[in-house]
Amino acid sequence: MTHLWVRAEQRPNEDRVGLTPDGAKALIHAGLRVTVEESRVRAIGIDGYRDAGCEIAPENSWPNAPRDAIIFGLKELPEDGTPLPHRHIMFGHAFKGQHSGRALLERFKAGGGTLYDLEYLVDETGRRVAAFGYWAGFAGAAVTLKAWAAQQHGKLCGPVGAYKNKDALLSELRSELDATNTPRPTAIVIGALGRVGTGASDLMEAMGATVTKWDMAETASGGPFPEILDHNLFINCILAGPQTPVFVPRDALSAGRKLTAIGDVACDPDSDYNPVPVYDKATSWDAPALRVAENPVLDVMAIDNLPSMLPLESSIDYAGQLLPSLLTLTDLTTGVWGRAEATFRTHMKDI
């Protein structure tokens, strides 16, 4: 029997989950065994999973799970260097030149396990079957607007946290923008036709900002893109890759510009292909904005778990997208799982 083990997230400020109780019930009815770990922070309570028929395990007990269990989480595992003998479903951040990714793959090599990277679960056309993109864009644009609002008071953006729902976020943000007594800023969103860009654009428009929407057609020239510097805000929604242009080069730090805040929602600062190379480290909930220039100021927002600011809505959305693929876990050799394993094996050749 295929055994799916949903682990508790161990990363701070990570309250999301990739399976709802209703989804767990569907898996059990399809013949899968489902274990869900207890969690002190998960946005969906454990009672719903228990009522759905799941087995309940202690928080963070997955290292002792049966060897044939498939461990399912979202964000990174603790970086303790231990070998990984299980099959894992998660965002590994290991296939795009990330410097921390090699250490993760070395752990899989040492343990003999397999990584089914959620970012690489794709259909026959190469499109991802599930993504948190919309809510990443929505929350990322919100924090970038918060950074801009703080600048109007001569300050750096303060800490952010999770919200009960999007209406609570919108209400707070609208009050902060109104308190600047300044017209709403202009923004340019690159990747505007995708999930991330749609979320970012929706948030900006909900707040009354003027939004310029670019996608592949507008960036096909490969740059440079001086138009970006003519906007107050830039939201990058394009994942780093060998063909990704540089949108804001380092010489923009000393250039004349209106741009004062960048929201790098894609957030690949340690990638060799970082399209926003004016910064080199992610920001955090405690310190959301990194100041990279003065006179005029330029702040970068690069939080890498943005959807967890709206954990309930983003979890329900993502879990609904992913469930059809989880229902095919009984055959890992074909479909999305076969393709994901092939990607893993390709990258393991260099380890």
DSSP 265-301: SS--TTSTT-S-TT--S-B-SSS-EEEEETTTTEEEE
Residue 295's contacts (CB-CB under 8 Å, 6 or more residues apart) are none
Burial of 67 (0-12, 13-18, 19+ CB in 10 A): exposed
Q: Could you tell me if 296 and 260 are in contact, meaning their C-beta atoms sit under 8 angstroms apart?
A: yes
CB environment 167-180: b (16+ within 10 A), e (fewer): eebbeebeebbeee
Which residue type, as a one-letter code, is found at position 53?
G
DSSP helix/strand/coil, 20:
coil
Q: Could you tell me if 282 and 269 are in contact, meaning their C-beta atoms sit under 8 angstroms apart?
A: yes
CA distance 256 to 121: 42
CA distance 324 to 27: 10
Q: Which residues pair with 128 in a beta bridge?
A: 122
Closest CA to 165 of 313, 307, 315: 313
Residue 153, token pair as written in the block: 């008071």
DSSP helix/strand/coil, 303:
strand
Residue 128 has a CB neighbour count (10 Å cut-off) of 15
Residue 204, token pair as written in the block: 């900006």
DSSP letter for 95, please: S
Active-site positions read: 75, 93
CA distance 268 to 238: 10
Closest CA to 316 of 121, 151, 166: 166
